[in-house]
Amino acid sequence: MVRVRTLLTTLLVALLLVGTVAAVSSPRTQPADTSPPVRVFVGETLDVSAVQLTGGGTVGSGSVTLVGVAGDAEGTSESVDATDADFGGFETGGYDVAADGDDRAEFVVAEPRVTSVVVRNQNGANVTNGWEPTGEDLTVTVEYNFADADRLDLTVESPDGLDVTSRVTAIDRITRSGGSVTLDLSDEPVGTFEITVEGSDLDQATRTVTVRTGPRGTATPLPTATPTPEPSTPTPTDTPTATVTGPLTERPTETPTETTSPPTPTATETTTPTPTESPTPPETTATSTPGFGPGVALVALVVSFVVLGRRR
């Protein structure tokens, strides 16, 4: 049991070491390790004539038929020129050289990937897709799975879309997974910079991150201060609209109605009593005239005595 664990540990360390030291400064033209299964990447064009067959011998030159036996490649078939084998468009997985007739894979085709891009400032803080006020002494660290097949090229684009790579770094490539490049954006205009890494030949393997420089909240207070006066402006506008529209529409309608009604009964009451009371005195006078009451007789008697006295 101890031996098994020791062997597994040794194997793991060996794999890690291989992954760490694997590095190329330019795209490879043929696999460095020809023992099967040989790992190649989608998009590579290689001379695979020296790759060893699982049944003995090598692939050799000329046209070669590859049959998928594992992964997404299983059941597929591809033909390539052994000295100029183009793996573009291949499904990922294991492929057997049909000519050796043993159904064991001589090739494993993998998808090239940039697995990680991390930007740290001079204090070691992670500012990937974040903010760094000065942009000075930034370290870009990249990990990818095809370090034994191709390098990575780095490009830095300024906020106005210009390529400023040569101004901000002396190194524009990474040749091993886990490698780093140092940037200095302190002399550039503030804003958001795009940092892109991609395979020099395997250019479909790419990744972009950003870093924003300059003051954190330069433009923030302006939008906040602008709305402050706005509440006072709408207040006078809303108040007149509600006051004028409602009351003015109702008051003119009610005022004429109330003013017109009272004068009508007043004029009627004043005029009506006058004709009604006028007939009353004539009725009293007409009654006394034909009757010659006691008062009239007394007056006549007095007049008679006066007349008789004068005659004597």
267-283 pLDDT tens trace: 334 444 444 444 444 44
pLDDT given at position 273 = 41
Among 194, 212, 230, the domain-final residue is 212
Give a yes or no: residue 253 inside a domain: no
Distance CA 85, CA 291 (A): 158
Which has the higher per-residue pLDDT, 231 or 116?
A: 116
Minimal CA–CA distance to 141: which of 181, 173, 113, 168? 181
Domain range for residue 55? 23-110
Which one is predicted more confidently, 185 or 14? 185
**Statement to judge: residues 121 and 95 lie in one domain:** no
Better-predicted residue by pLDDT, 60 or 246: 60
Q: pLDDT tier at 38 (50, 70, 90 boundaries)?
A: very high
* In-domain check, residue 178: yes
One domain for residues 121 and 200 = yes
Amino acid at 293: G
Residue 105, pLDDT above cutoff 90 = yes
pLDDT of 286 reads 39
Looking at per-residue pLDDT, the higher value among 7 and 91 belongs to 91
Q: Are residues 92 and 147 in the same domain?
A: no
Task: Tell me: do 162 and 195 sit in the same domain.
Answer: yes
Q: Is residue 224 part of a domain?
A: no
Give the pLDDT score at 236.
Answer: 47
What's the pLDDT score for residue 72?
98
Average pLDDT, the chain: 77
Given 212, 229, 260, the domain boundary residue is 212
Q: Which among 89, 96, 95 has a CA at the least distance from the CA of 111? A: 89
Residues 208 and 122 in one domain: yes
Q: What is the pLDDT of residue 22?
A: 73
91 part of a folded domain: yes
Work out how many domains the chain is built from and give that number: 2
Assign 159 to helix, strand or coil. Answer: coil
CB-based contact 77:66 (threshold 8 Å): yes
Kindly report, residue by residue over 131-150, the tens digit of the pLDDT: 999 999 999 999 999 999 99
pLDDT at 126: 98
Last residue within a domain, chosen from 75, 110, 145: 110
pLDDT over 90 at 171, yes or no: yes
Q: Are both 123 and 176 inside the same structural domain?
A: yes
Tell me the pLDDT tens digit for each residue of 292-312.
454 545 555 555 555 555 544
pTM greater than 0.85 (yes/no) = no
Judged against a pLDDT cut of 90, whether residue 219 lies above it is answered with: no
> Above pLDDT 90, what percent of the chain?
61
The per-residue pLDDT for 216 is: 82
Q: Are residues 91 and 118 in the same domain?
A: no
Residue 183: C-alpha distances to residues 116, 137, 140, 155, 209 (Å): 17, 6, 8, 11, 14
Measure the CA–CA gap between 91 and 78, rounded to whole angstroms. 10
Same domain, 204 and 122: yes
Query: In this structure, are 185 and 101 located in the same domain?
Result: no
Same domain, residue pair 120 and 182: yes
Give the CATH number, domain containing residue 185: 2.60.40.1930
Domain membership flag for residue 182 = yes
Of how many residues is the chain composed?
312
Which one has a higher pLDDT value, 277 or 8? Answer: 277
Lowest-pLDDT range of 3-12, 195-204, 289-298: 3-12
Question: Which residue would you say has higher pLDDT here, 227 or 283?
Answer: 227
User: Is 167 a residue whose pLDDT tops 90?
Assistant: yes
Q: Is residue 238 part of a domain?
A: no
Whole-Å CA distances, 286 to 145, 199, 261, 290, 292: 141, 139, 42, 7, 11
Q: Report yes or no on 47 lying in a domain.
A: yes
Q: Kindly state whether residues 102 and 122 are assigned to the same domain.
A: no
Q: Report the pLDDT averaged over residues 168-189.
A: 97
Q: Could you tell me if residue 62 is inside a domain?
A: yes
Rounded CA-CA distance 11/151 in Å is: 26
Q: What is the pLDDT of residues 258-267, one digit of tens each?
A: 444 444 444 3
Widest Cα–Cα separation across the chain = 200
- Verify that 119 and 191 share a domain, yes or no: yes
